[in-house]
């Protein structure tokens, strides 16, 4: 089996999660690391045995041996970098979101269609074993989704990443965090979203973003979703999903799944790993080897960005 050679851009919190995942996947090697601060990049590269380091993505794209690129860079860079990767003949996986505008999401899809390369976005919820377990029940006709209630809560009054380090860019409740649930709801409902509404709280004076948001969705199947998002929540942090259906209630907290009575459901045998990022990366590399479209391809996730675009217009209109 030919070893796939990977370049990873962005050596922050999520870049490290991908490097940890790659170590667990046979026949894949990260050979180039790109990040903004050379000193930190050198530290991460030394830990993972990566010999080529740079602050310039183009330098990595010029390496003939690089087959694919994983982008864990700031949100506003994803689309342009994904396009550049495919122009250079490299398969690409961009962390969520694919873009922070619908126009840029279309640009990525158009380049993928022009090149025939694999272009995937890190919609990790499709891969988490807890959500896979529910998805398999829906696919088997054993559970009909009627409602999803989702809470996405953080406590982030300053611009810090998941490691508590200062960010060079501003995170966004709609274009990043809501993207997970908008995509997952349509995926689990097995039905397109036909109605979407949003309201938001005050704009933060320094960060320039809303710190609280509420979104309502309805799928063509009739299923509905209510999503609450906050950067002001001083309590349990993360995203928690409640699935309400005709034959039960299930609550997913990351890779843990319980029923409505808080009885634990074993999801350890759903896939080859309990790590959603690893499963996401395995799908990316398998699609490259097999010459097929991956789950969470640019084409498949585009409807999510169409909904985000519509919601953004609603919010801008007050």
Contact 265, 258 (CB under 8 A): yes
The overall average pLDDT reported for the chain is 94
Question: Residue 165 pLDDT > 90, yes or no?
Answer: no
Domain spans in the chain, listed from the N-terminal domain onward = 4-122+276-294, 128-270
Angle (CA) 182 188 193, round 5°: 45
Q: How confident is the model at residue 208 (pLDDT cuts 50, 70, 90)?
A: confident
Q: Which pLDDT does position 169 carry in this prediction?
A: 47
Could you read off the pLDDT of 127-160 as tens digits, one per residue? 999 999 999 999 999 999 999 999 999 987 765 5
The pLDDT confidence band at residue 236, using thresholds 50, 70 and 90, is: confident
* pTM score, whole prediction: 0.94
CATH architecture of residue range(s) 128-270: 2-Layer Sandwich (3.30)
Chain-centre distance of CA 241, in angstroms? 16
197 touches 215 (CB < 8 A):
yes
Task: Tell me how far CA of residue 107 lies from CA of 57, 131, 311, in angstroms.
Answer: 19, 29, 20
For residues 210 and 156, the answer to whether their CB atoms sit within 8 Å is no
Q: Which one has a higher pLDDT value, 317 or 213? A: 213
Q: How far apart are CA 118 and CA 282, in angstroms?
A: 13
Residue 235: per-residue pLDDT? 87
Identify the pLDDT of residue 298. Answer: 98
42 has a pLDDT exceeding 70: yes
pLDDT digits (tens, 9 = 90+) for 84-114: 999 999 999 999 999 999 999 999 999 999 9
**Looking at domain 4-122+276-294, which of 3.30.470.10, 3.90.650.10, 3.40.50.720, 1.10.760.10 is its CATH number?**
3.40.50.720
DSSP-derived 3-state class of residue 271: coil
pLDDT above 70 as % of the chain? 96
Asked if the model's pLDDT at residue 292 lies above 80, the reply is: yes
Tens of pLDDT, residues 134-143: 999 999 999 9
- pLDDT at residue 158 in the model: 63
Indicate whether 264 pLDDT > 50.
Answer: yes
**Residue 74 dihedral angles phi and psi, to the nearest 5°:** -55, 145
> Contact at 8 Å (CB) between 226 and 149?
yes
Q: Same fold for the domain at 4-122+276-294 and the one at 128-270?
A: no
Helix axes 38-48, 13-23, angle to 10 degrees: 20
Distance CA 297, CA 316 (A): 29
pLDDT, position 125: 97
């Amino acid at each position: 089996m030919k070893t796939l050679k990977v370049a990873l851009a962005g050596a922050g919190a999520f870049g490290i999660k991908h490097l940890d995942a790659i170590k667990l996947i046979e026949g894949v090697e990260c050979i180039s690391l790109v990040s903004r601060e050379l000193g930190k990049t050198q530290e991460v590269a030394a830990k993972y045995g990566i010999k080529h380091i740079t602050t310039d993505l183009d330098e990595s794209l010029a390496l003939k041996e690089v087959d694919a690129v994983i982008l864990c860079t700031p949100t506003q860079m994803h689309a342009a970098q994904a396009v550049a990767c495919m122009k250079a003949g490299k398969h690409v996986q961009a962390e969520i979101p694919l873009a922070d505008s619908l126009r840029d999401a279309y640009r990525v899809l158009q380049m993928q269609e022009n090149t025939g390369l694999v272009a995937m976005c890190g919609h990790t919820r499709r891969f988490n074993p807890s959500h896979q377990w529910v998805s398999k029940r829906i696919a088997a006709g054993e559970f009909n989704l009627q409602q999803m209630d989702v809470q996405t809560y953080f406590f982030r009054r300053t611009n810090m990443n998941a490691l508590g380090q200062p960010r060079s860019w501003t995170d966004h409740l709609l274009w990043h965090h809501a993207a997970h649930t908008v995509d997952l709801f349509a995926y689990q409902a097995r039905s397109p979203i036909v109605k979407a509404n949003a309201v938001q709280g005050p704009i933060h004076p320094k960060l320039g973003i809303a710190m609280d948001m509420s979104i309502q969705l309805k799928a063509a199947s009739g299923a509905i979703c209510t999503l609450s998002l906050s950067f002001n929540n001083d309590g349990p942090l993360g995203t928690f999903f409640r699935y309400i259906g005709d034959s039960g209630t299930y609550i997913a907290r990351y890779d843990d799944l319980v029923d409505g009575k808080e009885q634990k459901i074993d999801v350890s045998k759903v896939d080859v790993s309990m790590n959603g990022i690893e499963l996401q990366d395995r799908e990316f590399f398998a699609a490259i080897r097999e010459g097929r479209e991956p789950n969470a391809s640019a084409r498949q996730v585009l409807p999510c960005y169409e909904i985000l675009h519509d919601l953004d217009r609603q919010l801008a209109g007050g």
